[in-house]
Amino acid sequence: MYKLYIEKNISSHDLLKKILKEEYNIDSFTIIKNEFGKPYLKDNQLYFSISHDIDTCAIAISSSEIGIDLEYLNYNERVINKYFYDAEKEIMAKSNNLKYDFTKIWVKKEAYLKMKGTGLNFGKENVDTTKIDAKIIDYNDYLIAVCEV
């Protein structure tokens, strides 16, 4: 099970440092990255994922691989045509709320790829979100998706 932290007006590194100190009694840590750039805590069994926008940061921490994405509600038809599966395009065609449904699909794709650790530019078009289990959280005008192994 994961823990989710959301704060405004704080850098992702400062928020991670604060969480690790206050919640897990970790005063000092080293971040290492896999070959695709996914960050890990060196010599620790905690996994984390970070997503941020202009002034909002979200971090998920778990004992298993995890991915998180936070996006402002948005709609982009070019992205749909390039990256969405037919089943996802069908959802969009039937949508009564294009921004919400577009953003929901998009955050699931990115959270899933972050969880897998393969990099965000690797295969968004190969991720069918209709087959992915993700927790979706509404946060003001943002959507957050969390995928966990």
Backbone angles phi, psi at 39, to 5 degrees: -80, 145
Structural domain containing residue 25:
1-149
79-104, pLDDT tens digit by residue? Answer: 999 999 999 999 999 999 999 999 99
Band (120; pLDDT cuts 50, 70, 90) = low
Average pLDDT over residues 67-76: 97
The more confident residue out of 126 and 103 is 103
CATH number (domain holding residue 87):
3.90.470
Beta-bridge partner residues of 144: 70, 137
Percent of the chain's residues with pLDDT above 90 = 85
Looking at residue 122, the DSSP 8-state letter turns out to be S
Evaluate if residue 122 carries a pLDDT over 70. Answer: no
Average pLDDT over residues 24-46: 93
Q: How many folded domains does the chain comprise?
A: 1
- Separation of alpha carbons 14 and 1, rounded Å: 23
